[in-house]
Amino acid sequence: MKLKVGVVGATGYAGAEICRLIMGHPQAELAAISSVSFEGMALSQVYPAYRAFCDLVCGTEDEVLEKSDMVFAALPHGLSQELAAKCDTAGKAFLDMGADFRLESEGEYREWYGGEYTDKALHEKAVYGLPELFREQIKGKKLIANPGCYTTAVPLALAPALENGLIESTGIIADCKSGVTGAGRKPTQSNHYPELNESFTAYKVASHRHTPEMEQTLSKLSGEAIKLTFVPHLLPINRGILATCYGKLMPGVTEKQLREAYDARYGKEFFVRLLPQGETANVKHVRFTNFCDVSLFTDPRTGTFVAISAIDNMGKGAAGQAVQNMNLSFGFEETAGLLLVPPAF
C-alpha cells in the first residue's frame, strides 16, 4: 500500500512542485490537496500541465489531514504551527516548507519573522531537514523543517571547508543569485515582467531572513559561532540558485586539501556532485532535479577560497529536498521519486 500524501498550499510554486514529484513516486500517492485561493478547483485547472496526471480538487486543510499519512505544508511563515500540532496529535507526519520550525532560537524567530513559538515542546520534536549534513537525525522523524533555497545552497558550498578548519570562521561572504520562482506565485512589482526582464539587481542586502538559518547550520558544523555577509540577487530566469561563497584560507591550506575534504564529505552522496577542478557550477545543469553541483577554487594571490554551488530552487531548494526528507522519514530509498535527469539544453 502506498503512502498517502497531502499537500496544503498545493497551488503555490513549491506546493505544485511537490505534487509533481509525488505523482512520479513509486511508494507514495497524492491523496488530498488544499488551497485557500483555489478551493473547489482541480489542480489541473490551475496548472494545465498536470491535466490527466492530477485532477484532484483543492479541498480544505482538515480534509488533507484526514486523508493523508503525511502532510506537506507549503505555506507562508506563521501559518504552519497550528497544522503541525494537529498532525502531531493525529499521529500524522508533517513537513514544513516554511520557516516556522527552522530556527532553534525563538528569539531569532521573533527578530527575523516577528512571530512566537506557540508550542515549545512541539518545536523540540522538529528536525532540520538537510540530508547531506544531518541525515541520521532525520531518519524516522515525523516533524521535519525543510530548508529553503539559499539555506541549502550556501551550507552545502561551505560545510566541508568550515568543519575541517580550512577557512577562517570570520569574514565569510555568500553572494547568491535566484530565479524568480523563489519569490512565490503571487505577483509583485519586482517580479512583474517589464521590471524583471533584462534586469539584474540585489535585494534585502545584509538583511535577508535566511541569514540566521545559514549561520545556525554552519555554526553547528564548525563548532563555533559563524556570522556571514549574505547578499541575494534576483535573476531574470524561472528556476535556479547560484551561490558564490568566499572565505579566507587558513595559512598553508592548499586546494588539494580542500578537495580531499569535499570528497570525504560528498564522495558518496548521490545528490551532491563535486565538479572536476576548473569546472564551474551552472544552474542550467541542475534544472528540475534534486542535484547540487559544487565547484571549488582558490586565489593564491589573496588567500581566498571560492566555493560555488548550483541548485534548482524548486528542487533541492524546496520540493525535491522535501521528498528526499520524506524518503528518510519512512525508510524509502533516498532517491525514490527523484531520479530525474536534467535537460541537456
* Residue 251 neighbours by CB under 8 Å, 6+ apart: none
Verify whether residue 149 is a known catalytic residue: yes
Residue tagged 498545493 (cell numbers): 10
DSSP of 16-78: HHHHHHHHT-TTEEEEEEE-STTTTSBHHHHSGGGTTT--PBEE-HHHHHHH-SEEEE---TT
- Assess contact for 310 and 293: CB atoms under 8 A: yes
**Helix-strand-coil split of the chain, %, nearest 5:** 35, 20, 45
* Residue 8 neighbours by CB under 8 Å, 6+ apart: 15, 33, 34, 61, 64, 71, 72, 73, 74, 75, 83
Residue tagged 532553534 (cell numbers): 104
C-alpha cell recorded at residue 278: 576548473
- Assess contact for 109 and 103: CB atoms under 8 A: yes
Alpha carbons 267 and 41: distance in angstroms, whole number:
45
Which one is catalytic: 19, 54, 58, 149?
149
Nearest to 244 by CA among 293, 300, 200, 289: 293
Alpha carbons 95 and 85: distance in angstroms, whole number:
12
Q: Which residues are catalytic?
A: 149
